Amino acid sequence: MTDTARIQDSIHEQDEYNFAYLDEQTKRMIRRAILKGIAIPGYQVPFASREMPMPYGWGTGGVQVTAAILGRNDCLKMIDQGSDDTTNAVSLRGFFEKTAGVRTTCETAEATIIQTRHRIPEKPLTGEQILVFQVPIPEPLRFLEPRETETRKMHALEDYGLMHVKLYEDIARNGHIATTYAYPVKVNDRYVMDPSPTPKFDNPKIDRMAALQLYGAGREKRIYAIPPHTKVRSLDFEDYPFEIQQFDKPCGLCGADNVYLDEVILDDEGGRMFVCSDSDYCEERRAQGHLGPMAADPAAARIGTKEPA
């Protein structure tokens, strides 16, 4: 066979992916890691992460976890920064549509598996749902101690003094803890865990969440989990209790309070508005007739459309 013919052959084979791309042996390896992760909430299980057809940093850990758990009858929602329509969310959703042929959705309530980067949906999740996080740096102690050999020891000894010192220094210097996302939590009173770079606004949602949470870090080769209803406490001090970011305005489009907002710059004269980061939540509210203070603004009309301008 000529080389060219051989390559054409192999390209043809590539069209015939296994369901959800990964081979069965790889899925088994990931599944076993997931089970150990669930059994040891908040502990980072090493796994033999594979090279995926998208770059490290683009969600290879989340993709491997989703591929390992996904079934034919699942309905998948894929979000990045809270939105279903960001380029990478579109790209990853397309990956599973192509390789698994599963149903996908933008509606939080309809999904059985939600893979996310940087946000947790505003609508409370149910026990029937699974939330898969894409994680860049799974080790909460990594920026305090770069060595894996050292941080592994700290977790083994439950020695989290370094983290408390860091948070306390923040308070001494700034008057408050200067960590706004990837805010460390303690899971089940044992392991300190990085909830992935979600804003700390989302931390209360992972405490006793009804849905199973799975975290996948592809480049760093770690999987961890929080079972449903598990106690998850954001680290703080008695005199400096954990607090989340407060927005003084509601969503400009749907008027929602107590949701995480994105700041959108409208013009070069300081014009800006705040809108829901969770695009599905915002749309659903507007469909129900909720109107925000900026909904009638022509600039908002431009922003509030689904189709590209």
- Return the active site residues: 42, 251, 254, 276, 282
Q: Is 46 in the site for another protein (CB under 8 A)?
A: yes
- Using CB under 8 A, pick the residue from 77, 259, 277, 294 that binds another protein: 277
In the list Zn ion, another protein, none, the entry touching 254 (Cβ below 5 to 8 angstroms by class) is Zn ion
Among the listed ranges 159-167, 227-235, 287-295, the one in contact with another protein (CB under 8 A) is 227-235
Q: Toward another protein, which CB reaches closer, 18 or 258?
A: 18
Q: Least distance from C-beta 7 to another protein, angstroms?
A: 6
Q: How many Å apart are CA 80 and CA 198, to the nearest integer?
A: 11
Torsion of CA 239, 245, 250, 253, to 10 degrees: -170
Q: Is 212 in the site for another protein (CB under 8 A)?
A: yes
User: Bridge partners of 224?
Assistant: 215
Q: Toward another protein, which CB reaches closer, 163 or 278?
A: 278
Q: Is 215 in the site for another protein (CB under 8 A)?
A: no
Q: Is 113 in the site for Zn ion (CB under 5 A)?
A: no
Binding mask 134-173 for another protein (x = CB under 8 A): --x----------xxx--xx-xxx----------------
263: left (phi over 0), alpha (psi -120 to 50) or beta: beta
> For residue 91, with 0-12 CB atoms within 10 Å meaning exposed, 13-18 middle and 19 or more buried, which class applies?
middle
Q: Toward another protein, which CB reaches closer, 52 or 167?
A: 52
Q: Which DSSP category does 17 fall into?
A: P
Q: Which DSSP category does 100 fall into?
A: H
Q: Toward another protein, which CB reaches closer, 39 or 291?
A: 39
> For residue 234, with 0-12 CB atoms within 10 Å meaning exposed, 13-18 middle and 19 or more buried, which class applies?
buried
User: Is 67 in contact with 27 (CB distance < 8 Å)?
Assistant: yes
Applying CB under 5 A, what is the total number of residues that bind Zn ion? 6
Q: Is 243 in the site for another protein (CB under 8 A)?
A: no
Binding mask 53-92 for Zn ion (x = CB under 5 A): ----------------------------------------
Q: Is 249 in the site for another protein (CB under 8 A)?
A: no
Q: Least distance from C-beta 34 to another protein, angstroms?
A: 6
Q: Return the SS3 of 219.
A: coil
User: What per-residue string of b and e applies to 161-186 under the rule 16 or more CB within 10 Å gives b?
Assistant: eebeebbeeeeeeeeebeeeebbbbb
Q: Least distance from C-beta 207 to another protein, angstroms?
A: 12
Q: Is 14 in the site for another protein (CB under 8 A)?
A: yes
Residues between 244 and 273 that touch Zn ion (CB under 5 A): 251, 253-254, 256
Residues between 56 and 115 that touch another protein (CB under 8 A): 56-58, 60, 68-72, 80-83, 85-91, 94
Q: Which DSSP category does 83 fall into?
A: B
* Maximum separation of any 2 CA atoms in the chain, in Å: 74
Q: How many Å apart are CA 301 and CA 253, to the nearest integer?
A: 9
User: Which segments of the chain are extended strands (E)?
Assistant: 45-46, 75-80, 103-104, 113-117, 130-134, 185-187, 191-193, 212-217, 222-226, 232-234, 261-265, 272-276
Chain residues that interact with Zn ion, rule: CB under 5 A: 251, 253-254, 256, 276, 282
